[in-house]
Amino acid sequence: MKLSFSPSLPLLTFAIALGFSSVAVANSGEATYKQVCASCHGSGVLKSPKLGNKAQWAPLIAEGQVTLTAHGYVGVRKMPAKGGKPDLSIEDFADSVVYLVNQSGGNWKSPDAKMLLAINKEVEARKAGLNKSK
């Protein structure tokens, strides 16, 4: 089977198709964390849960991977949608959440296609709920 990278094929899907390990995914989540999330989650700006603080992350981890990822992607509490990076993909955002959670007491895996569908469904439900309250 010959695979070639295409802009229409998300990088995560391409990496999985090539058989890259979860280490590659972890590195992707860490890179996104450093680029997008660290400015708040590194120092606790606006009471954001700090990377590695198990007590702060425990109730968020309890929300579940689909809910926490989707609500963060849309924007929750004082956190802007997509962590303030408008072009951040759901895959990259989800991997950064996995990285944050796993550094803070959780044990999540990078979302597979089925979980990404559930996250996207929850994103749409969250947006609809927010639009009703306006």
CATH number of 11-132: 1.10.760.10
How sure is the predictor about 26, in pLDDT bands with cuts at 50, 70 and 90? low
pLDDT at 124: 96
User: Coil, helix or strand for 79?
Assistant: strand
pTM for the predicted model, two decimal places? 0.79
pLDDT at position 27 is: 67
pLDDT at 33 over 80: yes
Q: What percent of the chain has pLDDT over 70?
A: 79
Alpha carbon separation from 48 to 31, 44, 57, 110 (Å, rounded): 19, 5, 10, 22
The domain ranges of the chain are 11-132
Average the pLDDT over 54-71 and give the result.
98
